Amino acid sequence: MLAYASLGADPLHIGSGYLVAVPMATLIMGLLLRAPALFLSGTTAGALATLVIYLHLLSRLAPSDGLAGLGHLFSLPGLLAGAGVSAWLLRYRVKAQLPWLVAGIGFLGVAAGFMASQVLLCNTLMYCGALSLWR
């Protein structure tokens, strides 16, 4: 991510510090919830996956859709809520013993929270370019 940002390509128009802040926020939230290490790996990978997919989609948009990166920024509360809910499920409801299952629960929790927030945000409150269902 940082190598991509160092090339000068920033379709989010937010800055390269944002690319570091998003995975760090999910990591800190997992540490506060005392989640297992593999869960932290899954949530951080999920946060990076949302950034990579968002950067890929926004690099293909027209230059007039330059502030569509705010859609990712405003979807971060959903991402963190998904991480929190999946950490709670992992601690109190699901007894996962397999390492890949723990990481997968973290990844899917982050992805589900981000996508729910993204669909709600980009189809009701703001226009997110190609990410909005209605144009």
Residue 78 confidence (pLDDT): 93
Say if pTM beats, i.e. exceeds, 0.75.
yes
What gap in Å lies between CA 37 and CA 86, rounded to an integer?
Answer: 14
Rounded to whole angstroms, what are the CA distances from 109 to 9, 47, 72? 29, 10, 16
Q: pLDDT, tens digit, for every residue of 116-131?
A: 998 888 788 777 766 6
Rounded to whole angstroms, what are the CA distances from 80 to 16, 28, 54, 108, 129? 20, 10, 17, 12, 23
Low-confidence ranges of the chain (pLDDT < 50): none
Residue 126 confidence (pLDDT): 79
